[in-house]
Amino acid sequence: MNAYACLFATWGVVTIAFIGLLMHRVILRGQGNGWISMIDDEYEDRATRAQTSIEMRARNLACLISALGALSGILLLGILSFWVYKGIPTPPSAPWWVMG
């Protein structure tokens, strides 16, 4: 397997995981309604605990999301720099009508 295929495969896996975590965080934040009724103490305590749990899970994802986003960007820059490095010394190929 050549270096391009390895870089593209790694970048694809990291980027898919990054996008998946972003979507998961959006879903988590959508579950928390942000409004807790103050009528029933038992319901209020349960809702507060659930909201706190959702917020903690969303906050825990922030570090992983940042790391995967940075890794995806670094891999993309690596792919581009490798392409430029390999592409500059290689002379362009002759068109098909010249080679005929």
Residues across the chain: 100
- 5-19, 40-54, 77-91, range with greatest mean pLDDT: 5-19
- Give residue-wise pLDDT tens across range 23-54: 988 888 776 665 656 666 777 777 778 788 88
Binning pLDDT at 50, 70 and 90, where does residue 73 land? very high
Among the listed residues 27, 26, 44, 24, the one whose alpha carbon sits nearest the alpha carbon of residue 35: 44
Whole-model pTM?
Answer: 0.69
| 66 and 9 Cβ atoms separated by less than 8 Å | no
Within 13 A of 46's CA, how many CA atoms are on the CB side? 5
Comparing 60 with 92, the larger pLDDT belongs to: 60
